[in-house]
Amino acid sequence: MFSCNSYKSEFVEIDTIATHRNGMEFVSMQECIACHKDIVESHMKTSHYKTSFKTDATAFDEMLKTLSNEINLDDGTKIVIKKEGNTLFQDFYVVGNQTPVYHTPMDITIGSGFRGQSFLYWNEEGLFQNQASVFGTMEGWINSPGYASQINNTREVVPRCMECHSSYAAPLESSSNRISNTYDIENVVLGIDCQRCHGEVKEHVLFHKKNPDIKDGQHILKYSELTQQQRIDACALCHSGFRQPAWDPLERKFIPSFSYQVGDELNDYLVNNNSRARNNQEPEIHANQIKLLMDSKCFIMSENMDCATCHDPHAQERGDFQNFSLKCISCHQSQNHTEKTLRLTNANFEDCTSCHMPFVDSQAMKIDLNLNELTPVKIRNHLISIYPQEINLH
């Protein structure tokens, strides 16, 4: 349903909210509502859209009231989380010192809040990760995964982190080949929005505003015209584990983050030269769904499978097992389950994933819940297969 007739005017202006280093102009997602209202509304509920935003201090009021807001590290340092005005801070007290050695704001939240949220702060143009993170859906404060239990509040946030968790964050050129954590603050777009997956849209918007009668999308990249590999690469940018930047022999430097655009060949920009990641059969939170899926018989023996075979990229679908099972059944109209399998009393055959894509413990992401032990995060295995019964039903 289009309601674009009010845009007949010859003069249609749209504001640019940021400009990519390559010249691409970002427009606000509001610009899409006139013609794609349903998709915009649905997208705003996704983890993608909510994966980074300016921290909303009021969202923590309840947590600050009801839970302990201190973390005691093994080196004696105490981190205290508190709210001043409309800003959250992390204060660091070292042994024998009454005044905090750090008083750092929590400017940006990373994570939609399913498994947890991390926080970033600006120090001039430098972007750093706060040491304390939130575990789960506001279940408590923890020392950020990967940090030793000692004071370390100046972890640099490299562009690759933002490349996966935002639409854009313009890295500042560094003179050496060192990867810098400085950004042009005027050119940061938080949340993963339409343009992260659909590329340049300004011309598209201008064209359709001027030509409301044309119903075929113009000046826009079309997924239906991409190859299977191009479509998979569009997701692999962020879902194929920790790739390294590729080396550009002409410029004699590493290709900077945010260079890859949908349609490009990802390996030209980011390489999986980490042998552990490349051969990795273990699913990880930071995450290698691609490799695992591509090793599955479903992928190997069907023709055009990609991530969108099962996932609607604009919808929040977590927990909707019936929807996912329908995708399985669309290819597996009948299943040859043995009598033994069918007799399993606690099995739910409406949820194919409970047995064929079971949860596994992450090896890379473990969380220290102040219990002196690391609790692994559970993740969904994209190696679709037949698993022994013991690990299935829980």
Residue 100 φ then ψ, to 5°: -65, 140
**The token pair that represents 302 in the structure block:** 């069907």
Give the total of residues touching ligand HEC (CB under 6 A): 105
- Lay out the site mask for ligand HEC across 44-73 (x = CB under 6 A, - = otherwise): ---xx--x----------------------
- Lay out the site mask for ligand HEC across 92-131 (x = CB under 6 A, - = otherwise): ------------------xxxxxxxxx----------x--
Residues 232 and 292 sit within 8 Å (Cβ to Cβ): no
**The token pair that represents 191 in the structure block:** 């949340």
Selected range binding ligand HEC among 53-61, 70-78, 176-184, 201-209, rule: CB under 6 A: 201-209
User: Which parts of 320-379 interact with ligand HEC (CB under 6 A)?
Assistant: 324-325, 327-332, 335-338, 341, 344, 347-349, 352-357, 379
Which of 58, 72, 318, 391 is the binder for ligand HEC (CB under 6 A)? Answer: 318
- Is position 307 an interface residue for ligand HEC (rule: CB under 6 A)? yes
Selected range binding ligand HEC among 34-42, 54-62, 73-81, 82-90, rule: CB under 6 A: 34-42
Selected range binding ligand HEC among 17-25, 80-88, 169-177, 214-222, rule: CB under 6 A: 214-222
Nearest to ligand HEC of 21, 327 (CB atom): 327
- Is position 181 an interface residue for ligand HEC (rule: CB under 6 A)? no
CB of 199 to ligand HEC, least distance (A): 9
Which of 17, 18, 40, 277 is the binder for ligand HEC (CB under 6 A)? Answer: 40
The region, left, alpha or beta by phi > 0 then psi within -120 to 50, assigned to residue 108 is beta
- Is position 266 an interface residue for ligand HEC (rule: CB under 6 A)? no
Q: Which candidate, 144, 165, 166, places its Cα nearest to that of 81?
A: 144
Q: Three-class SS of residue 42?
A: helix
CB of 250 to ligand HEC, least distance (A): 26
- Is position 18 an interface residue for ligand HEC (rule: CB under 6 A)? no
Alpha-carbon torsion, ordered 21, 45, 365, 75, to 10 deg? 80
Residue 21, number of CB atoms within 10 A of its CB? 14
**Number of helical (H) and strand (E) elements in the chain, helices listed first:** 13, 21
Nearest to ligand HEC of 78, 286 (CB atom): 286
Alpha helices in the chain (DSSP H): 30-43, 61-66, 159-165, 194-198, 202-210, 228-239, 275-279, 289-294, 297-300, 321-331, 339-343, 353-356, 389-392
The amino acid at 214: I
Nearest to ligand HEC of 3, 97 (CB atom): 3
